[in-house]
Amino acid sequence: MLVVPADADAAGLELSAQRSFGPSLSAWGTYSLSHVTDDSSGREWLRSWDQPHSANLGIAWSRARTSVSALLGWHSGWPKTPVTVVPASGATPAYLLVGPRNSSRWRDYFSTDLRLSTSVPLSFGELSLWLDGTNLTGRANPCCIELYSMSTVPAVDNHVWLPRVVNVGFTVTVGRSN
């Protein structure tokens, strides 16, 4: 079903703080309170990405050409539309029972991220190396469902948002040396 809202509303408040603990160490934090809705068919519905509460805490250390940073991220679960598979009974085939749009919520999201980086001066420029890790705890943050049919029986499969991801990379800059 295509949802085309007549209007949408978003309201929120964000608080943030940052503190330096010397020339090499700093920390920061944010908290957001928000509410996001669509207005459709004379009714207000939660947007799929509505997250009433969100918080992030970070810490960073840097010295010369090396830095390390960590981030803890959390937000309340996104809205979801409940879908249940009702098994076949007698002459009635199995079917999907769909609840009211975005009337329940996914479990809260949590992620721990880490970044390590360094740069090496070269005679012709600079080599930058980095290692990024996202969701390092490997937490399964449910986000969405896939509906499908295996032969004649409908099924619902939950998916997770952003599994553990590790990226390694480098950049070579030519003509500039720090």
Q: What is the pLDDT of residues 32-81, one digit of tens each?
A: 999 999 888 788 889 888 999 999 999 999 999 999 999 999 999 999 99
- The identity of residue 46, as a single letter, is L
Alpha-carbon distance of 75 to 110, in angstroms, equals: 7
Alpha-carbon distance of 146 to 150, in angstroms, equals: 12
Q: What is the pLDDT of residues 103-160, one digit of tens each?
A: 999 999 999 999 999 999 999 999 999 999 999 999 988 888 888 876 677 888 888 8
pLDDT given at position 7: 87
pTM (2 d.p.)? 0.81
Q: Which two tokens stand for residue 159?
A: 């998916």
Q: Which helix (H) or strand (E) holds 123?
A: none
Q: What is the pLDDT of residues 162-176, one digit of tens each?
A: 889 999 999 999 985
Taking the C-alpha atoms of 56, 20, 18 and 117 in order, what is their torsion angle to the nearest 10 degrees? -40
CA angle 148, 138, 78 (to 5 degrees): 55
Say if CB 148 and CB 88 are below 8 A apart.
no
- The identity of residue 163, as a single letter, is P
Alpha-carbon distance of 139 to 149, in angstroms, equals: 28
pLDDT given at position 28: 98
